[in-house]
Amino acid sequence: MDDITATASESTALSWADMSESGGSFSSIEPATMMICNIPCRFGEADVVAAIHSVGFAGTYDFVFLPSRSGKHNANIGYAFVDFKSAWNAERFADAFENFQFPGTKSSKTCTVKHAHQQGYNAAASRGSKRA
């Protein structure tokens, strides 16, 4: 068996072992992808990244994805996804960012943070571009 096949087999075996230890389901894996809601529509991805950094979470995530309205520049649809490197950081971020209000806006919106329905980079990859 070559190294690639051996590595893939070992990885698959570990995944199946982890699944059987968790009751036969991958759903017990702690979520690390969070959804930030109530982002003012004129804010861009760089603004969201700056806000994440402002509450102390620079370097703790893999990607940020801010869906935008088709054909409109700088017009997001009010939410973003952030995939953290650990579930622990994701939970800490949710606590720190809850009720966050973006500075420099007349909007009275405050953010809420919840677990994304779909977890991870691959789930968001079908939605468009991301930034780490």
> What's this model's pTM, rounded to 2 decimal places?
0.70
Res. 13 pLDDT band, cuts 50 70 90: very low
Buried b or exposed e, range 51-73, using 16+ CB within 10 angstroms: bbeeeebeebbebbbbebeeeee
Q: Quote the pLDDT of residue 30.
A: 78
Q: Quote the pLDDT of residue 72.
A: 57
- Give domain limits for the chain: 1-29, 31-125
The yes/no answer on whether domain 31-125 falls in CATH 3.30.2350.10 is no
User: What does the pLDDT look like over 45-102, one tens digit per residue?
Assistant: 999 999 999 999 999 999 999 988 776 566 889 999 999 999 999 999 999 999 999 9
At 82, list the tokens. Answer: 């952030």
Range in 19-28, 33-42, 49-58, 120-129 with the lowest mean pLDDT? 19-28
Among 130, 107, 114, which residue's Cα sits nearest to residue 40? 107
